[in-house]
């Protein structure tokens, strides 16, 4: 048991060394660490290969389908101008005094389908005119928007991080959505409008002229990034798309149509979870709700709907839709492979008996599983920067413990949220998102640490605090 725990610690350190020092792609690093860990803990080399293949396939059974369908769904909405429509409508409907709250909710909704880095490129330049007109610090508007984007991107499926985490943990996606929203909305409000008002009085950020001159948001699509103001331009996030979306000249879709498309998969998944819990077995209604509420079916229905409503109906050709879907599946494939490799590592940890070791240690220290998950993903997040890798590794380390403790569906879902909180907080100079904010807000590194880093940490810590309290009442 002592060697199992030691080997686990050494394996995590090796993973960090490969990713940070030697710049290995996370998929290759996770796979290599899994092989080394398996051999070090006495797994037969031939059996190890079979186990890797088996765990890779088992992990990706549902996850690969959901991430792939979700990527196409998000790409179609992005190209249709959904982010701009949501942001502009909510800004118009909130008074100038309360516009920060509208921007927080806009970010929360946009990030259901659009990658956070792409959303920053599209939406932050839309704030320049507001900041110039009111004379306020750009952070007054930007921090609420980015807080909303951060919460949904990491807390709520069908975004890739929560999907991957839930897949490795074996959690119910409906419950993850519910608890993600319950923990995420207060986190967005505290880290967004409340902190944004506070920090904007202490750091005045004017519209960055170097970006303003080269960034435009056409009437129907995304903006293009300008010259980098940061010491170095942001890297493409782990598994993320090119953060410079292509503009389109088509008119923006209606607010109601965009909102409907965004909540459709959530409603279907939650309907399935609710029907399974409340309706008697064997009934036709229950069977239909559970079938349609399966994440794969819910995302497939949503994907087909968006391809028709925001593609065919708006004049896109079959070739254009095919190219759009193909483009979306590129970054999705990277996330899928990283998730599968994380599942391989997790399977080997389960087989090594790590769950029993951790359960014994946690009984002696009275550490709840949500605390362990948060700390595990936080350490990885601080060390190497990528939220996706932090969440997948945190879930990989927490899954054996959850299995040993026999955690029920609600506690598993809360553990997933806690892992997401750790993967969100503590963003600093090794995170590409840090440099994205630095670039589009035109801030110094010190001011980015005081604003962006603190905002991300408030999101993570607030969400974690709520998850911890809720975990006291479930099993």
pLDDT digits (tens, 9 = 90+) for 326-350: 998 888 888 899 889 988 998 888 7
From the list 428, 461, 352, 436, the residue with the least C-alpha distance to 122 is: 436
Scanning 98-169, the segments in alpha helix (DSSP H) are 99-110, 116-123, 127-134, 139-155, 160-169
Mean per-residue pLDDT, 96-100: 85
Weakest mean pLDDT among 301-305, 339-343, 353-357 = 353-357
Is the pLDDT confidence value at 59 over 90?
no
- What's 98's DSSP letter? G
pLDDT digits (tens, 9 = 90+) for 187-212: 999 999 999 999 999 999 998 765 54
pLDDT digits (tens, 9 = 90+) for 137-181: 999 999 999 999 999 999 998 888 899 999 999 999 999 999 999
Residue 443, helix vs strand vs coil: coil
Residue 235, helix vs strand vs coil: coil
pTM above the 0.95 mark? no
User: Encoding tokens for residue 298?
Assistant: 């819910």
What confidence score (pLDDT) does residue 211 get? Answer: 52
User: Encoding tokens for residue 123?
Assistant: 């939406």
pLDDT digits (tens, 9 = 90+) for 210-257: 554 333 333 333 332 232 233 333 344 444 555 555 445 568 899 999
What confidence score (pLDDT) does residue 210 get? Answer: 54
Q: Is the peptide bond before 158 cis (omega within 30 degrees of 0)?
A: yes
- What's 314's DSSP letter? G
Domain count, the chain: 1
User: Encoding tokens for residue 265?
Assistant: 């998969």
Is the pLDDT confidence value at 28 over 50?
yes
3-state helix, strand, coil in the chain (%, to 5): 75, 0, 25
Is the pLDDT confidence value at 292 over 50?
yes
Residue-number span of the structural domain to which 282 is assigned: 2-471
Is the pLDDT confidence value at 410 over 60?
yes
């Amino acid at each position: 048991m002592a060697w199992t725990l030691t080997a686990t610690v050494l394996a995590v350190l090796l993973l960090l060394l490969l990713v940070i020092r030697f710049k290995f792609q996370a998929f290759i690093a996770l796979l290599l660490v899994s092989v080394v860990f398996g051999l070090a803990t006495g797994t037969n080399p031939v059996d190890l290969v079979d186990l890797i293949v088996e765990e890779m396939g088992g992990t990706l059974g549902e996850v690969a389908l959901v991430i792939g369908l979700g990527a196409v769904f998000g790409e179609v909405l992005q190209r249709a101008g959904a982010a701009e429509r949501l942001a502009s409508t909510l800004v118009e409907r909130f008074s100038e005094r309360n516009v920060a709250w509208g921007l927080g909710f806009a970010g929360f909704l946009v990030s259901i389908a659009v990658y956070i880095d792409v959303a920053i490129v599209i939406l932050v330049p839309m704030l320049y005119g507001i900041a110039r007109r009111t004379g306020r610090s750009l952070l007054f508007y930007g921090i609420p928007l980015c807080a909303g984007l951060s919460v949904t991107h990491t807390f709520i499926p069908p975004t890739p991080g929560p999907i991957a985490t839930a897949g490795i943990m074996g959690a119910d996606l409906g419950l993850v959505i519910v608890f993600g929203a319950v923990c995420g909305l207060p986190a967005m409000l505290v880290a967004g409008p409340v902190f944004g008002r506070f920090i904007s009085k202490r750091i005045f950020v004017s519209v960055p002229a170097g970006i303003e001159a080269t960034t435009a948001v056409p009437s129907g699509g995304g903006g293009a990034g300008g010259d980098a103001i940061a010491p170095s331009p942001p890297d493409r996030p782990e598994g993320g798309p090119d953060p410079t979306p292509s503009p389109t000249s088509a008119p923006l879709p209606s607010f109601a149509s965009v909102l409907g498309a965004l909540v459709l998969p959530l409603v279907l998944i939650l309907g399935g979870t609710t029907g399974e819990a409340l309706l008697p077995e064997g009934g036709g209604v229950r069977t239909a709700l559970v079938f349609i509420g399966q994440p794969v079916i819910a995302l497939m229905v949503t994907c087909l709907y968006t391809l028709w409503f925001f593609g065919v109906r708006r004049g896109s050709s079959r070739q254009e839709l095919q190219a759009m879907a193909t483009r979306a599946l590129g970054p999705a494939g990277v996330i899928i492979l990283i998730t599968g490799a994380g599942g391989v590592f997790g399977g080997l940890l389960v087989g090594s008996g790590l769950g029993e070791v951790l359960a014994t240690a946690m009984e002696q220290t009275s550490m709840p599983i949500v605390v362990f998950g948060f700390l595990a993903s936080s350490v990885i997040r601080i060390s190497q920067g990528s939220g996706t890798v932090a969440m997948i590794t945190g879930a990989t380390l927490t899954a054996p413990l959850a299995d040993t403790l026999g955690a029920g569906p609600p506690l598993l879902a809360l553990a997933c949220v806690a892992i997401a909180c750790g993967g969100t907080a503590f963003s600093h100079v090794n995170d590409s998102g840090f440099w994205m904010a630095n670039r589009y807000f035109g801030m110094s590194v010190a001011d980015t640490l005081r604003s962006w880093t603190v905002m991300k940490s408030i999101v993570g810590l607030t969400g974690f605090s709520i998850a911890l309290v809720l975990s006291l009442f479930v099993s």
